[in-house]
Structure formats: C-alpha cells, structure tokens
C-alpha cells in the first residue's frame, strides 16, 4: 500500500529518475584475469562510471629490492609480468650491466634477443587467445597454448625453469644454448607459423569476433600518449613508438623488423597489432638463429660472473670470486641508471639509484600495466559490461605487473 502510494507520487512528477546499480566486478572474477576490482555504476547494461581498486597482490618489490643483492632481484622481476618473465630478467641484467659497465659479447646478446622474442610471442599469444575466450571462442586458446607450451620447453632447456625463469647472469647467460635447445627453437620456428596462420584464419575476419571487438574501447593517440601508454596498446592507437627501435639494446639494431601500427586504438586494432608483432618476433628469432655469432656466451668479468664450478674447487681466485658473488659482496659504483626494454606490454623501465653499496639504494620499476590501466575507467564508460571484459583482456593487464 505504502509502495503503491509512492509510485503514484513518482508518476505524478515529470522528472525521470535514473536508477543506477552498483556492480562489483572482481576482485576475484573469472573474466578479470587477475585479482583487481572495479566498482562499476551501471545503468542497466551500460556502464556509467568505474572505479578501479588495485593492490591485491602488492608484494613491495621496490622495498624488498633495497635489501637484496643485485642477483637476488631477478626473481622479483620474474613475478611482475609473469607471462613474459625473460624480458623482465634481461631488462634487469642490462640495467645492472649498465651500472657496472660490463660489455656483453655478441653471442650472449643474440641469445637474449631470441629468448626475449620467444617471451613476447608467449605473452601476446596469451593475450590474444584469452581475448578469444572472452568473446566465446575457446578452441583458439587451447590450440595456441600447445605452442606456448613449446616455448616453455625452450625456456626449460635454457635455464631449467618454465614460468618464473630467473634467467641470465650479469654479463650474459648462465650457459650456452644446448644442441637440444637449438633444435627446439628450430622446430618451433618450423611448426609455429602454421598454427599462427590457422589462429589468424579463425579470428581475423570472423564476423562474430569482429562484431564483438571492432570499435570497442577506442582511444585516440593523443589520449593514449597523455595516459603514458606504451607497447602494443599505444601502437594500436597509431603511434610507432617501440623501445627496440628508438633506443636499441642488446643488438636489436642488427635485425630487420617492422613495427605494426593500428589506426583507431580499439580492441580489434590491439588484437591485430599483437598478431603482427608475433610474426615480426618470428622474423627476429629466425635472423638471430641464422646469424648466431660464435664466441663466449658471457662477458669476461670475473668479479661479477660466477666462475665454473670445477674451478671453484681447485683455483684460489675462482673460490674467492665465487664466495664474494654468492655473498653479494660486490660494491656497485654510485650512480643512477634508467634502462628500459620493450616488454610484452610496453616500456618496462628500471630506475636504479646506487649509493655505492651492495644493494640498490632505490629501485623503481616503470611498469607499463600500472601506467596504462588508469585509462580503463575512461575507456569503459558508455560501453556495456560484456565490452568492458573484452577491453580489459585486450589491454592485457597482468596483475603481477600492475601491483609489483
């Protein structure tokens, strides 16, 4: 009775009362690919505003790093973007090498390039195939994950680990590419293009898929730059910024490859840019394998690079260096370094301040996810809930990198 009366009163007024629903998307939600929450204000199916909450897997890496030796920080970088940990590892080693002034031999640089490009393929495969899952196409995901598994087997052959690789050393790699590893990379280069071709055939011009992603969550180049976008998300908006080309590191200037760019910055462009980058990465790996230089796989820097184990038992100097390196008794020169690499999601930067001690005085990670995820509310406003999920997965927000 009371309610009916209220309704009558409402109907007598001419104003339309908008009824908003608050929806908690996350923190744990199967479609969010990680633990982050979005409090969405919904008008029916339409999103009116969104407030992201992050920090659910914050592990204080920057603080922990202030009490760790340089080689103990690599495992922390593994756990940032865990879809492409080798890129993080190599980025960190290059930062330390820059600080210490170690020159890396060509062969080690080429091996690093191979590993980093494999990691980029794995990263983009996850992003794009999960985007397929979110739009209802499950088989593409299962299909390319077999290939991702092969990349992980290559990691395993190179460093012994699969997901959190902790790969490399100051001055190079911990061991040379084994014949098995070389064979596995060659097999991958032979078999993967066919799979990728089929994956693209399944999606690129699939009407159902294109209808779901085209024009969804566009961002202009200007806004993207203002939001600090880097990587595939920025290139999808039409800006050809790639750290590998702008500030080449680890011999990237030796390779010929193209930077794909999109035009609209929407979900479809992001998908296509990542697909094309996979092809370009394959090109780079092929070139690196064909021109893999002979020579040492690590720098001749005994004070930073662990000596061979048999020498440690027989050789005084080797024993001393082994002890000093393992106990972290290496005083780094005072100074500050910024080094950035092109991670799976964009410019992954390491800002390292050393006061001459054995640990960093301050270490700041420029994490691309953290920086571009703040544009998410702006991108989802006005779209539907199902589009918000698609935008989220096309941006490839990795919770580990977001929260560090």
> Where on the chain is the footprint of other proteins (CB under 8 A)?
54-55, 58, 60, 62-64, 66-67, 98-99, 223, 225-228, 239, 241, 246-247, 335-338, 340, 347, 349, 351, 353, 362, 364, 366, 370-371, 373-375, 403-404
Q: In three state form, how does the secondary structure of 251-273 look?
A: CHHHCCCCCCCCCCCCHHHHHHH
Q: Report yes or no: 124 and 275 within 8 Å, Cβ to Cβ.
A: yes
Cβ contact 146:112 at 8 Å: no
Closest approach of other proteins to the CB of residue 6, in Å: 36
CA 16 to chain centre: 46
Angle of helix 385-395 relative to helix 106-134, nearest 10 degrees, comes to 170
Shortest distance (Å) from residue 125 CB to other proteins:
28
Rounded distance, CA 371 to CA 392, Å? 14
Q: CB of residue 173 vs other proteins: minimum separation in angstroms?
A: 23
Pick between residue 67 and residue 324 the one whose CB is nearest to other proteins.
Answer: 67
Minimum CB separation of residue 55 from other proteins in Å reads: 4
**228 or 296: CB nearest other proteins:** 228
| Angstrom distance (rounded) from CA 344 to CA 357 | 32
- 402/389 Cα distance (integer angstroms): 17
| Closest CB to other proteins among residues 97, 387 | 97
Q: Are strands 335-342 and 37-43 parallel, antiparallel or unpaired?
A: unpaired
The whole-angstrom separation of Cα 40 and Cα 220 is 23
Nearest distance in Å: CB 140, other proteins: 33
Q: How many CB atoms lie within 10 A of CB 4?
A: 8
Q: Which is nearer to other proteins, 324 or 362 (CB)?
A: 362
CB of 367 to other proteins, least distance (A): 9
Which of 388/402 has CB closer to other proteins? 402
Closest to other proteins by CB, 64 vs 142, is 64
């Amino acid at each position: 009775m009371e309610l009916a009366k209220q309704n009558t009163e409402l109907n007598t007024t001419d104003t339309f009362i908008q009824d908003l629903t608050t929806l908690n998307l996350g923190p744990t939600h199967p479609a969010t690919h990680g633990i982050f929450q979005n409090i969405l204000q919904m008008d029916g199916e339409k999103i009116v505003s969104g407030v992201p909450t992050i920090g659910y897997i914050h592990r204080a890496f920057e603080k922990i790093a202030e009490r760790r030796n340089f080689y103990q920080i690599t495992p922390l970088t593994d756990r940032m973007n865990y879809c492409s940990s080798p890129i993080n590892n190599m980025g960190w080693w290059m930062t330390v090498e820059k600080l210490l002034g170690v020159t890396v031999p060509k062969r080690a640089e080429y091996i690093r390039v191979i590993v980093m490009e494999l990691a980029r393929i794995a990263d983009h495969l996850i992003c794009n195939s999960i985007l397929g899952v979110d739009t209802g196409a499950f088989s593409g995901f299962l299909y390319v994950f077999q290939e991702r598994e092969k990349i992980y087997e290559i990691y395993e052959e190179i460093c012994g680990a699969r997901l959190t690789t902790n790969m490399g050393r100051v001055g190079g790699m911990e061991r040379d590419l084994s014949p098995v590893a070389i064979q596995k990379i060659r097999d991958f280069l032979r078999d993967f293009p066919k799979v990728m071709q089929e994956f693209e055939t399944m999606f690129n011009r699939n009407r159902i898929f294109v209808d779901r992603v085209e024009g969804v969550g566009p961002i202009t180049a200007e806004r993207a730059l203002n939001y600090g976008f880097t990587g595939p998300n920025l290139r999808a908006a039409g800006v050809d910024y790639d750290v590998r080309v702008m500030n080449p590191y680890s011999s990237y200037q030796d390779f010929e490859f193209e930077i794909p760019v999109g035009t609209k910055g929407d979900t479809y462009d992001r998908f296509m840019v990542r697909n094309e980058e996979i092809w370009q990465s394959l090109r780079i790996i092929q070139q690196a394998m064909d021109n893999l230089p002979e020579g040492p796989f690590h720098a001749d820097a005994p004070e930073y690079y662990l000596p061979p184990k048999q020498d440690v038992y027989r050789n005084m100097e080797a024993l001393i260096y082994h002890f000093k390196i393992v106990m972290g008794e290496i005083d780094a020169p005072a100074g500050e370094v910024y080094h950035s690499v092109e991670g799976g999601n964009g410019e992954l930067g390491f800002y390292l301040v050393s006061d001459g001690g054995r640990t960093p005085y301050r270490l700041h990670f420029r994490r691309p996810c953290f920086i571009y995820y703040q544009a998410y509310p702006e991108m989802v406003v006005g779209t539907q809930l199902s589009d918000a999920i698609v935008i989220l997965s096309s941006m490839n927000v990795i919770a580990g990198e977001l929260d560090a």
